[in-house]
A = this chain, B = another copy of it.
Amino acid sequence: MPVFLDATSAGFEADFAAFLETKREISADVDATVADILETVRARGDAALVDYTNRFDRLSLSADGLEIGAEEIDAAIAKVPPADRAALELAADRIRAYHEKQRPEDARWEDAAGASIGWRWTAVQAAGLYVPGGLASYPSSVLMNAIPAKVAGVEELIVCVPTPKGAVNPLVLLAARIAGVDRVFRIGGAQAVAALAYGTETVPKVDKITGPGNAYVAAAKRRVFGHVGIDMIAGPSEILVIADAENDPDWIALDLLSQAEHDESAQSILITTDAEFGRAVAAAVEKRLKTLTRAAIAGPSWRDYGAVITVPDMATAIALSDRIAPEHLEICTSDADAVAARIRHAGAIFIGAWTPEAIGDYVGGPNHVLPTARSARFSSGLSVLDFMKRTTVARMSPDALAAIGPAAERLAICEDLEAHGLSVRARLDRLNRGRE
């Protein structure tokens, strides 16, 4: 049974606080293993990659088999049915169009002191995208990671995807092709992160690594962070639906289940102003679970972590939502746009009953790589900016230096940084001599 909470009941605050604190994932302590894998790949390069890949994925590769070459990709994607290809292309076009609007502007201006200051954005040169193998090998995730990188201007975009027992997902390869990925390697786990972070004879070193993965991949990304850039460390994901009684309970049930079916640790929450509607949705969930293919995943997720919270008004719904800071927030109310405008912490908002969260997973346009586990309080979904960086620029005229240099010299003295002060003073003295 999911938890049923009523925001007007006496014990609500304690119950809700406990609910927020519930751990949904036991993070395996894999850090020592991962540290060893990283060091081994760093030291031994391809030889280590081949060893790990053959052992973990039950293959018998040599180093020249690590890359999935263009012909192999061609052959695999030739098998993709036209309808699947068309759907992927529609998704890619929409994701590209959305992310193209995220390209940031350079700026440069002259201020009152006569200083010319501003900034310039440039793309990361090389990026690596980790794609999980097996069940969670999602072509949509390839699009969502690779397209922003290419829109940013990344020249060398590498995908690493494990192929357990040789199995490769043709749709993943097609998504990589459509998104403009430059090279694909059949490498997974911490060894893939190591290869991308340090480079080997065969795998190019990249500057930034993104993409989801298991506990080993997450631990490896955390360890190489700083040496290369990484995206977020993703936790189990969640959806919050705010819905009034004017909704079809079955639609809302399916939206909750479309999160729950991802992972037993996923979380689906309904906040509603109508307790009876809440019960109807819960009943609709149970009915759907009777036939759902992934009921063995969605059922435990819903029963262990699901929640139906009844609130007296929309203001309470909004306040609770901000405390949850959900990855996905669906707002199915009569004034959905107005409610959305009052939300502060959420990864992505889906407004109105015609916008099921699944649209955002595939074809909406916005990115589906989003901050989980309440991290929407401080972070954003993946974007073009994750593959770019900003260089600030400043140019002083002699007059500008004369105007603001003495304050810099003063502060340098306060901080006991003599050379800093002298580097300004030497120039000010020259100016003063020139003016005598």
Q: Residues of A at under 8 Å CB distance from B?
A: 83-84, 86-88, 90-91, 94, 97-98, 101, 107, 109, 111, 113, 115-117, 119-120, 122, 124-125, 135, 138-140, 171, 207-208, 222, 225-226, 228-229, 232-233, 235, 248, 250-251, 254-255, 257-258, 260-262, 288, 292-294, 298, 336-337, 340-341, 343-367, 371, 373, 375-381, 383, 385, 389-398, 400-401, 404-408, 410-412, 414-424, 426-427, 430
- Which residues of the other chain, B, contact A367 by a CB distance below 8 angstroms? 392
Chain B residues lying within 8 Å of A363, measured Cβ to Cβ, are 404-405, 407-408, 411
Whether B251 pairs with A427 at a CB distance below 8 angstroms is yes
Give A427 to B288 CA distance when docked, in angstroms. Answer: 16
Which one of B232, B336, B394, B414 lies within 8 Å of A395 (CB-CB)? B336
Q: How far is the CA of A235 from the CA of B225 in the complex (A)?
A: 12
Q: Is the CB of B354 within 8 A of A394?
A: no
Q: How far is the CB of A210 from chain B (nearest CB, A)?
A: 11
Cβ contact within 8 Å between B395 and A366: no
Looking at A349, A350, A411, A416, the one whose CB has the most chain B CB atoms below 10 A away is A411
Q: Are A225 and B222 in contact (CB under 8 A)?
A: yes
The answer on a CB contact under 8 Å between A378 and B417 is no
A416 to B348, Cβ gap below 8 A?
Answer: no
With A and B bound together, what is the CA distance between A436 and B220 in angstroms? 55
Chain B residues, Cβ within 8 Å of A427: 251, 353-354, 356
Instruction: Identify the 9 closest CB pairs spanning chains A and B, nearest first.
Output: A229-B378, A366-B392, A254-B423, A87-B410, A351-B395, A257-B419, A358-B420, A87-B407, A380-B390
Which residue of B has the minimal Cβ distance to A97?
Answer: B111
